[in-house]
Amino acid sequence: MDVVLRKVTVEDMEDVHQLVIGLAIYENEPEAVTATLDDYKAAFEEGIFDAIVAILDSKIVGMVLYYMTFSTWKGKCMYLEDFYVVPEYRNMGIGQQLFQAYIDETKKAGAKQAKWQILDWNEPALGFYHKNEAIIEKKLVEWQTLFLNDYTLHASDIQSANGL
């Protein structure tokens, strides 16, 4: 089995989008993916994210999508947004290769931390990350992740602070 890993190109965005939809289905959130293929292409071309794809038999069978963030406590951090291998290609070492490629990119970028989130019921992923010596942050600190959705961000009653 000769798996080829390479950085994603804009031409790969349709496959990446489909892999993200596959991940959303696996996570029982098939309707949650509202970003369009055009959104992916535009964000990629703006340098908002990067990704590495795994190719087997001329087909993209997995990917890891990530971007740089900044922690005021740690410095540069590489955030892993999505990591997915098509089910029929799992347990072949492809996920391990993709994860190692993500770690390599994290180191190359000079990031102080690699970070991601995982659903607590995803036992296969928890086992995979445990094997790779990941630390579950929730057990270390009492923080909660919060967000504003698209509707809230654009609601007319949200005022700019100090007119900025």
pLDDT digits (tens, 9 = 90+) for 84-109: 999 999 999 999 999 999 999 999 99
Question: Helices in the chain by DSSP H: which ranges?
Answer: 13-26, 37-45, 94-108, 123-131, 150-154
Segments of the chain scoring below 50 in pLDDT: none
Query: Which residues, 6+ apart, have CB-to-CB distance to 53 below 8 Å?
Result: 5, 6, 7, 8, 12, 15, 16, 60, 62, 63
Amino acid at 6: R
CATH of the domain at 57: 3.40.630.30
Within-domain flag for 143 = no
pLDDT digits (tens, 9 = 90+) for 29-48: 999 999 999 999 999 999 99
Domain residue limits at 50? 4-117
Q: How many domains does the chain have?
A: 1
Query: Which residues, 6+ apart, have CB-to-CB distance to 38 below 8 Å?
Result: none
Within-domain flag for 160 = no
Query: Whole-model pTM?
Result: 0.87
Cα–Cα distance, 46 to 65 (Å, whole number):
15
